[in-house]
Chain A
Amino acid sequence: MAVRSIENEYAVAEHERVACHDCDLLFRKPRLQPGQKARCPRCGAVLFQRKGGGLDQSLALAFTSLILFMLANAYPLLRMNIAGRVQEGSLLTGIEELNSQGYWEISALVFVVTFLAPLAKLLCLFYVLLPLRLFGLRAPKAVLVFRWTEQLSPWAMTEVFMLGILVAVVKLADLAALAPGIALYSFAGLMVSMAAGDAVLDDHEVWERLEAAGD
């Protein structure tokens, strides 16, 4: 049992045991091989999972995602042609247009879940993982930043947005001739690389490394 009283004097941590987050059953911490999962026998929740990707894969995927994210937002999603008039639109023009129509609530919501949250998640990952991987060091406030990263995750909705694009394309196909833009392919790639990043990132491992690393 390790006692770390530097950060606070109230709690001591138990590193040998773990509890189920869904039913609170107490366990001895499993020793897992990479790729293995331990499930709670009482409620079936995944207790522990060794994803075995390591920080290199997580960093590489975060870097790929960041580039695709920039492309996805810098270029138009779709080019539309009605009776000779051409119109292009990107995600950000959609958000602006919603705002100028007076629907700032949805405009803000879409901005947060398709732009701000995914971007913040990627930048936070870089901030935490890069110093940890390169120097074995914990960046200032890295613990707080990684906590945000975990809490941001459900609000980053790139993959849902991708399905939204699909439905929009089909609806528009009736109205006019459509040409996909660079951003459309970038969003598809972003969806894949962010999902792969989630599949590879082992948050238990990151927490353990953060704890072991010095400032």
Chain B
Amino acid sequence: MTRHAITAADAGYLLCHCCHLLCRPQPGSIHPRCPRCGAVLHRRKPDSLARTWALTLTAYILYIPANLLPIMTVTMSGRGEPDTIISGVKELIVGGMWPLALLVFFASIVVPVLKLLVMTFLLLSVQFGSHWRPWERTVLYRLTESIGRWSMIDVFVITILVAVVELGALATIEAGPGAVAFGGVVVVTMFAAMSFDPRLIWDRMALKYGKISSHSSPEGAYRMQR
């Protein structure tokens, strides 16, 4: 290892994305695998930008039917109206259930929209080699990755309602095509977050400032926490 090499990639190492073992591939190996867990090693996630773009754009397209089409139809005594995601939230507000309305609003509307915007922002910033606040962008990425699954709440609500309410003429609940599109948005954005490689943010930093000298090398200087 040279004195100036500070990232694993610079030092000729590949970090196993699965078991986090640091590996050094033999020269000339084409598809090196992690000697501990057997996962294929990559310097960076393969085609990270292209894949993440494709998945993010797919999610944008799915997002339109997810919000316009009904996610379910509740029929009580012969009368029924289709519910979209937004009308479901409105119904909770009308019923005076503010905390739940807020929860559903946040999980079904705020989180997917924010996630799409954040992914787009991260992609553009990496694409244009931005040096703006890499630390904040990495934190933003970690947040986006961990919060996405909570959008699934509405899909689960539909499943439970459909399971319990099946009373023939009295009341029925039917799922709607919007639910399929919405489930698609959640899954596709989860895949998008997984395929994005936050190390690309830092690779772009290194291009501008060069390698950090060994003088300021933080090797061994972790922040310990209890």
Number of inter-chain CB pairs below 8 Å: 280
Q: Mark B134-174, 1 if CB is under 8 A from A, else 0.
A: 11001101100000011011111111111111110011001
Contact of A18 (CB < 8 Å), options: B20, B152, B157, B162: B20
Chain A residues within 8 Å of B163, by CB? 77, 89-91, 93-95, 97
B110 in contact (CB, < 8 A) = no
Give the docked Cα–Cα distance between A172 and B36 (Å). 51
B93 in contact (CB, < 8 A) = no
Give the docked Cα–Cα distance between A114 and B219 (Å). 42
Chain A residues within 8 Å of B95, by CB? 174
Range of interface residues on B (Cβ < 8 Å) = 35 or more
Chain B residues within 8 Å of A70, by CB? none
Q: How many residues of A contact B (CB 8 A)?
A: 87
Q: Mark B200-219, 1 if CB is under 8 A from A, else 0.
A: 01110000000000000011
Give the docked Cα–Cα distance between A169 and B150 (Å). 18
**Contact in complex: B13, A17 (CB < 8 Å):** yes
Interface residues of B in 1-29 (CB under 8 A from A): 5-11, 13-15, 17-26, 29
With both beta carbons as reference points, the residue of chain B lying nearest to A48 in the complex is identified as B222
Chain B's interface: helix, strand, loop or mixed, by majority? mixed
B86 in contact (CB, < 8 A) = no
Segment touching B, from A53-61, A98-106, A191-199: A98-106
Give the docked Cα–Cα distance between A7 and B135 (Å). 37
A168 in contact (CB, < 8 A) = yes
Interface residues of B in 106-154 (CB under 8 A from A): 107, 134-135, 138-139, 141-142, 149-150, 152-154
Give the docked Cα–Cα distance between A106 and B72 (Å). 12
Chain B residues within 8 Å of A143, by CB? 36-38
B187 in contact (CB, < 8 A) = yes
A177 in contact (CB, < 8 A) = no
Give the docked Cα–Cα distance between A7 and B36 (Å). 8
Beyond A77-B164, A98-B162, is A154–B149 a contact (Cβ under 8 Å)? Answer: yes
Determine how close the nearest CB of chain B comes to the CB of A149; give it in whole angstroms: 10
Contact of A22 (CB < 8 Å), options: B92, B142, B156, B224: B142
Interface residues of A in 165-197 (CB under 8 A from B): 165-168, 170-172, 174-176
**30 pairs, CB–CB < 8 Å, chain A vs chain B:** A8-B35, A8-B38, A12-B24, A13-B24, A17-B13, A17-B22, A18-B22, A23-B138, A26-B5, A38-B222, A78-B160, A89-B160, A89-B165, A94-B164, A97-B162, A98-B158, A103-B177, A106-B158, A106-B159, A151-B18, A154-B194, A164-B153, A164-B155, A164-B159, A167-B100, A168-B161, A168-B164, A175-B165, A203-B19, A207-B20
When A and B form their complex, which 5 residue pairs have the shortest distance between CB atoms, in order from nearest? A164-B156, A94-B163, A89-B163, A19-B8, A89-B164
